[in-house]
Structure formats: structure tokens, C-alpha cells
């Protein structure tokens, strides 16, 4: 009995799979397997009763005098009954697909997991909105009009709300504090005081991450010692520990917090959703480009979760810096992974905390140190096109040999293509020449102009800034330039914004090294030299030679082509070939459209013919209650019905053409 049950169940399952494969093939579209399998089981369960019903309705009895004929006729009716039952099952599948398309009903396990995650995200989302409301930001977020006193308090309230929301939101505020091209000065000033306060992580949790990434115990295979007490616990992801290798080399180990990935996923999802809501409901959100800004921030945080990205960034900067004042820590690849980075430990002190060390250096040496630092950074930006994009004083280490060590390469490397570097160089050259028209043209090569841009006013306002750059000193001049970008709503690409951010942050570090150092004046003075490095004579000659060779190759063909065109014109044989369906996607779309149209016409003709054959009730009897023409009508009607179902489904799910 058990064996028979197993055989029946196995047969039913096999039949359901086969029927499902046939149904998907007939419909010509990948209908979901669960519903297809259920339809196959229904067809299997109903096939025997339905065949019995059809045989009885046709009057089939069989008998010893006509045994062979009766068997053939019965087999034909059974096949016809099974076919129509299968067609009804496919019709049910089409109906279900029309009401609940494949993929619209999620997997139950995934649904439960998503509900749990949505509940957690909703709680966090409501908590963020509650924080914003508590600090008086609700009216601003809704785009409602606020009074002048409320507007003046908004920057301070924003900082307080970001601090309370947690480290991910603090990092967002820190990013915004570098975008003077987007935010007014009062917001930039307030956000610049944000400080990330990360909780410490227990050593046993950090040790588990290290050993999981390296594949073995710390003290047995890799390190002579690792200090359990962290040097720093900053950023969203990292905890930094001092360590020593077996050969005595002092290193630092960056380790990702065990909960970092879940935290970043949850918070960036909320930030992107908030940005979408703000951009939809507020004018200032649309002007700011809140969604693009949030998505860029989210991507940078995701990159921060993979320490191999920082390793690649460090190697890029090392190659761009070469033998210069700037030093990049050496990385030990065998002691690195996705969540761990082991690198050389720099001696020295961050420039932001180096007041006492700098005081011991003569003024002339401090001035030379600032000039060399400015020279190297501008060379990275303009000549090499690869630069550290977060040069605040905490990421610049003043070493004992008076070189500058670069730290923290998470999402902090900018890359500029040659065309952008040429536009930046042209802008600096225009400033040096006091040419506001050329400066405007160069700026518009760097930024996207809105449709309503008033070129004349922009040229005049930018000209005032260009003149100021020639005669004023200090950070205020560069700030005026970024104010022009913000006021005229020029869309600055992220990589260009990173260059602006680097220059702004560099100016603060240079002021700490030498309070009298003028970045703008120095940049103007070295612009011609950097321009020569960007456009070396041999490279210009080589480029001109290659372009001339290409031009000559093309120009040799021009006389022959002109002669052929004029000859065809004279003889009246000039023709224009038009290929409307040259693209393969267009041909596939047209072919499927024609095929489906023909199938639909054939299906309708088959159904009409079947109805006529059944209604006329002509022809000889092949069963007591069924004539041959009627039987043929049922068969033709079956095929027409299936073709109609196929056409309906393909009409519902036809893929969109690629643009």
C-alpha cells in the first residue's frame, strides 16, 4: 500500500513537471514554476474523471463485434479530453498570471524576512523623524515657510539632530560640510563642527573578525602582538589597533566593526528614502539634488565596507606621488582582506595637533613645507588626475623627517579625466590673465548649466571673483567662487566637487603649517609650470602628429568620394539607402509582432471553423453521439483555443524594446 502511494505521488509529480514544461513552452513565456506545477497536478487529478465523462457523453460502449474500432475511437476521445483539460488548465494559468503576475507574490520566507526588516527600518525611520521634530526641523523638511528666527536657528538645530541620529548621519553632515558649492556658509560652518563619536568594540569581537579574515590565530601565524586597546574607534566601520609583526615591523590594523554592514545598510536606506521625500516635497531639496547626493553618499559608505578598495586607492596615490614630499603607508597584502587592512605605522603627529612641533621649525622651513605640500597636491589634481580627496588636517601626518604622510583613503580618492584637468588648468590660466570670459567658458566645461542660466550675469559675477583672486588673499576668495557656483545652480559632478573639496581642505591645513601662506597666489604662480607638465611639448607634438596622420588618411579618400557623388548626380543615379530596421533589437521586435499577429489570426480562424463544424453536425458517426465533422471541430477548436491563450499571454508580458 505504501509503495503504491509513493508510486502514485511520484507519477503525479513527474506528470505535473512535464505538464508545466509543456505549458511554459506553449505559452512562450517563463510563467512561475509553483503555479505551473499546481496546474499540472490539477490536470493530472482531473484527467481520468474528465475522460470518463467525455466517453460517456459520446456514447462509447465498446463491444466484441467492433473491438478494434472502439479502442481507436476511445483512444482518440481520451486524447481529445486530455487536451481540452490541459487547455482549461493553461487558461487558468493565464488568468492567474493576469491577476497576479509572476514575481508579484514574494517567496514566503523572503516575505517574512522583509517584514521583519521593514518593521526594524520603520522603527528607525520614525525615530529619525522624531529627532528632526524634536529639534524643530519638521517645517523645513516639509518645505513649509519658516520665520526668519527659525531659519537662523536651523543650522544649529541640524547639527544637534545629526549628532543625535548617530554616526552614519554625522558622516553625512561631515560630507555636506565640504560642499560649499551646494550649501550656504552658515550651514557649512555649523556642519564643520560635527565629530564622529564611535563606541568602542570589545577585543574578543575584533579578534574574531581578524582571525576570520586571515584564516588562523593571530599570535600563531601572523602577528607578534596586537594591542587590544584601540588607537582610535572612528568612522562607521573601523577600529584601529597598533600591532607588531614577527620581524619587528610596527603596523596598524584597521578592522571592520562586526555590526557595520547591517548598520550601514539600514541607515543608508533611510537616508535615500528621506532624500527622495525631501526632493519631492521641497524646492530646496530639488535645488540641492538630494537624491543624487544621498545615493553618492550611500555608495561611498558601501565602498567603505570593503577594505580592498582602500588598498587600491593607496596604490593609486603612491604611484601618482612618486618620490615626493607626500608619503603613503606601505600595505601588507597577505595580512589584508575585505574587513581588515594592515599597513605601515607612521611616526609623527597629525597636522591639526602639531602646533608645538611646528613652532620648533623656522619660518622659512614652514613656508617651504607649505609650498611643497601645495605643489604636490595641485600636481596630483592637474597633472596626474589622481588625488587624495579628504585632506583635512587630521589626515595629514607631520613626520619626524618633515615629510607629510597621507592617511585614510576610504572613498577619499578622486580621479579626473584629462579633459577635466585641461578645463581646470584653463580656469587657473584665465584667473592669472584676468579673463572672465575664458574663466566662464572653462567653468562651464566643469559644471552643467541649467536651462535658465543668464550667461551675461554669470560672466560678470565670475569676473568679480576672478579679479578678487588676483588681489585678495585667504580662504574667502575661493569661497566666493563656490558661492557663484551655488547661486547659479551649476551642476558640479562628484569628481569635480571632490577636487574643490580637496583644495578647500588643503587651504585649512596650509594655514596651520604657515599662517601667512596664500594658496590662491601660489596656485596662480605655479599654474604655468603645471600647465607645461600637463601639456609637455613632446606630447603635444605626438598628439598633433597622430591626429594629422588620421586626417591625411581620411583626406585621401575625399576626392574620390566627391567625384563619385558628382558623377551619380550628373547621371541621375544618386540614391539614398534607408535601413529602418538595421538594429537587431528592432528586427526581433518586428518579427515577434508579425508572428504574434499571424498566430492570433490563425487562432481566430481555427475557433470560427471549429464552431461551424460542431454546429453543422455533418459527416458519418464515429461514436453513437458524435459525428466526424464535430470531432474534427473539437480538435481544431483545441488548437485555436491554445493559440488564443498564447497570444493573450504574450500580449501581457511582451518585453519592452531597449532604447
Mean pLDDT of 322-328: 82
Which pLDDT does position 188 carry in this prediction? Answer: 79
pLDDT in tens, 250-260: 999 988 888 77
70 exposed, middle or buried (CB, 10 Å; 0-12, 13-18, 19+)?
Answer: middle
pLDDT in tens, 116-128: 656 666 777 788 8
Domain range summary for the chain, segments of one domain joined by +? 2-99, 111-197+264-298, 347-535, 545-573, 584-653
Work out the pLDDT band at 657, boundaries 50, 70, 90: very low
pLDDT in tens, 57-101: 777 755 444 444 467 777 787 788 877 877 777 777 667 766 666
What's the N-to-C CA distance of the chain in angstroms? 61
- pTM: predicted TM-score of the whole model, two decimal places: 0.60
The whole-angstrom separation of Cα 445 and Cα 437 is 13
pLDDT in tens, 606-640: 888 888 888 777 778 777 778 888 888 888 888 88
Q: Are 338 and 213 in contact (CB under 8 A)?
A: yes
Q: Is the pLDDT of residue 314 over 60?
A: yes
Q: Is the pLDDT of residue 106 over 60?
A: no
pLDDT in tens, 140-185: 777 667 677 767 778 888 888 888 887 778 778 877 777 766 777 7
The whole-angstrom separation of Cα 368 and Cα 510 is 11
Mean pLDDT of 505-528: 84
Q: For residue 612, give the 3-state DSSP assignment.
A: helix
Which pLDDT does position 66 carry in this prediction? Answer: 43
The whole-angstrom separation of Cα 162 and Cα 438 is 41
Q: What is the CA radius of gyration of the chain?
A: 37
Q: Is the pLDDT of residue 528 over 50?
A: yes
Work out the pLDDT band at 655, boundaries 50, 70, 90: very low
Which pLDDT does position 96 carry in this prediction? Answer: 72
Which pLDDT does position 658 carry in this prediction? Answer: 41
Among residues 112, 98, 93, the alpha carbon closest in space to that of 34 is found at 93
Q: Is the pLDDT of residue 405 over 80?
A: yes
Amino acid at each position: 500500500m505504501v509503495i503504491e502511494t509513493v508510486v502514485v505521488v511520484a507519477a503525479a509529480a513527474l506528470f505535473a513537471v512535464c505538464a508545466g514544461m509543456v505549458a511554459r513552452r506553449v505559452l512562450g513565456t517563463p510563467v512561475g514554476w509553483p503555479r505551473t506545477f499546481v496546474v499540472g497536478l490539477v490536470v493530472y487529478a482531473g484527467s481520468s474523471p474528465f475522460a470518463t465523462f467525455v466517453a460517456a457523453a459520446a456514447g462509447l460502449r465498446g463491444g466484441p463485434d467492433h473491438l478494434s474500432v472502439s479502442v481507436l475511437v476511445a483512444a482518440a476521445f481520451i486524447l481529445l479530453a486530455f487536451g481540452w483539460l490541459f487547455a482549461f488548465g493553461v487558461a487558468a494559468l493565464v488568468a492567474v498570471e493576469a491577476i497576479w503576475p509572476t514575481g508579484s507574490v514574494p517567496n514566503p520566507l523572503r516575505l517574512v524576512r522583509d517584514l521583519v526588516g521593514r518593521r526594524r527600518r520603520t522603527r528607525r525611520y520614525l525615530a529619525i523623524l522624531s529627532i528632526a521634530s524634536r529639534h524643530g526641523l519638521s517645517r523645513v523638511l516639509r518645505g513649509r515657510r519658516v520665520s526668519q528666527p527659525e531659519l537662523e536657528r536651523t543650522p544649529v538645530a541640524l547639527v544637534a539632530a545629526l549628532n543625535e541620529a548617530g554616526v552614519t548621519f554625522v558622516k553625512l553632515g561631515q560630507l555636506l560640510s565640504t560642499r560649499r558649492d551646494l550649501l550656504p556658509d552658515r550651514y557649512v560652518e555649523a556642519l564643520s563642527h560635527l565629530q564622529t563619536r564611535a563606541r568602542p568594540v570589545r577585543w574578543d569581537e575584533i579578534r574574531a573578525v581578524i582571525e576570520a579574515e586571515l584564516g588562523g590565530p593571530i599570535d600563531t601565524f601572523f602577528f607578534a602582538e596586537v594591542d587590544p586597546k584601540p588607537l582610535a574607534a572612528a568612522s562607521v566601520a573601523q577600529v584601529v589597533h597598533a600591532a607588531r609583526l614577527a620581524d619587528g615591523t610596527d603596523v596598524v590594523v584597521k578592522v571592520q566593526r562586526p555590526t557595520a554592514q547591517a548598520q550601514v545598510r539600514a541607515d543608508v536606506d533611510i537616508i535615500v528614502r528621506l532624500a527622495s521625500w525631501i526632493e519631492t516635497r521641497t524646492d530646496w531639496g530639488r535645488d540641492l539634488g538630494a537624491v543624487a547626493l544621498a545615493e553618492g553618499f550611500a555608495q561611498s559608505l558601501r565602498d567603505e565596507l570593503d577594505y580592498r578598495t582602500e588598498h587600491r586607492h593607496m596604490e593609486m596615490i603612491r604611484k601618482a606621488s612618486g618620490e615626493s614630499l607626500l608619503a603613503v603607508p606601505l600595505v601588507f597584502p597577505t595580512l589584508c582582506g575585505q574587513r581588515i587592512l594592515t599597513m605601515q605605522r607612521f611616526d609623527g603627529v597629525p597636522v591639526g595637533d602639531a602646533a608645538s612641533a611646528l613652532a620648533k621649525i623656522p619660518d622659512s622651513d614652514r613656508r617651504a613645507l607649505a609650498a611643497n605640500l601645495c605643489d604636490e597636491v595641485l600636481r596630483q589634481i592637474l597633472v596626474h588626475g589622481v588625488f587624495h580627496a579628504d585632506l583635512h588636517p587630521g589626515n595629514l601626518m607631520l613626520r619626524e623627517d618633515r615629510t607629510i604622510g597621507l592617511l585614510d583613503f576610504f572613498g577619499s580618492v578622486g580621479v579626473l579625466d584629462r579633459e577635466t584637468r585641461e578645463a581646470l588648468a584653463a580656469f587657473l590660466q584665465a584667473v592669472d590673465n584676468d579673463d572672465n570670459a575664458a574663466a566662464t567658458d572653462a567653468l562651464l566645461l566643469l559644471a552643467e548649466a541649467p536651462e535658465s542660466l543668464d550667461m551675461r550675469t554669470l560672466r560678470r559675477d565670475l569676473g568679480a571673483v576672478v579679479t578678487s583672486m588676483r588681489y585678495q588673499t585667504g580662504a574667502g576668495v575661493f569661497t566666493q567662487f563656490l558661492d557663484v557656483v551655488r547661486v547659479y545652480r551649476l551642476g558640479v559632478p562628484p569628481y569635480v566637487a571632490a577636487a574643490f573639496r580637496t583644495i578647500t581642505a588643503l587651504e585649512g591645513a596650509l594655514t596651520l603649517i604657515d599662517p601667512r601662506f596664500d594658496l590662491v597666489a601660489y596656485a596662480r604662480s605655479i599654474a604655468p609650470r603645471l600647465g607645461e607638465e600637463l601639456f609637455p611639448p613632446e606630447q603635444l607634438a605626438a598628439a598633433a602628429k597622430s591626429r594629422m596622420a588620421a586626417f591625411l588618411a581620411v583626406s585621401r579618400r575625399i576626392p574620390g568620394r566627391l567625384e563619385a557623388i558628382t558623377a551619380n548626380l550628373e547621371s541621375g543615379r544618386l540614391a539614398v539607402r534607408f535601413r529602418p530596421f538595421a538594429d537587431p533589437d528592432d528586427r526581433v521586435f518586428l518579427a515577434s509582432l508579425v508572428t504574434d499577429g499571424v498566430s492570433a489570426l490563425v487562432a481566430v480562424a481555427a475557433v470560427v471553423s471549429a464552431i461551424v463544424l460542431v454546429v453543422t453536425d455533418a459527416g458519418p458517426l464515429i461514436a453513437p453521439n458524435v459525428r466526424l465533422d464535430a470531432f474534427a471541430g473539437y480538435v481544431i477548436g483545441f488548437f485555436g483555443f491554445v493559440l488564443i491563450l498564447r497570444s493573450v499571454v504574450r500580449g501581457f508580458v511582451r518585453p519592452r524594446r531597449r532604447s
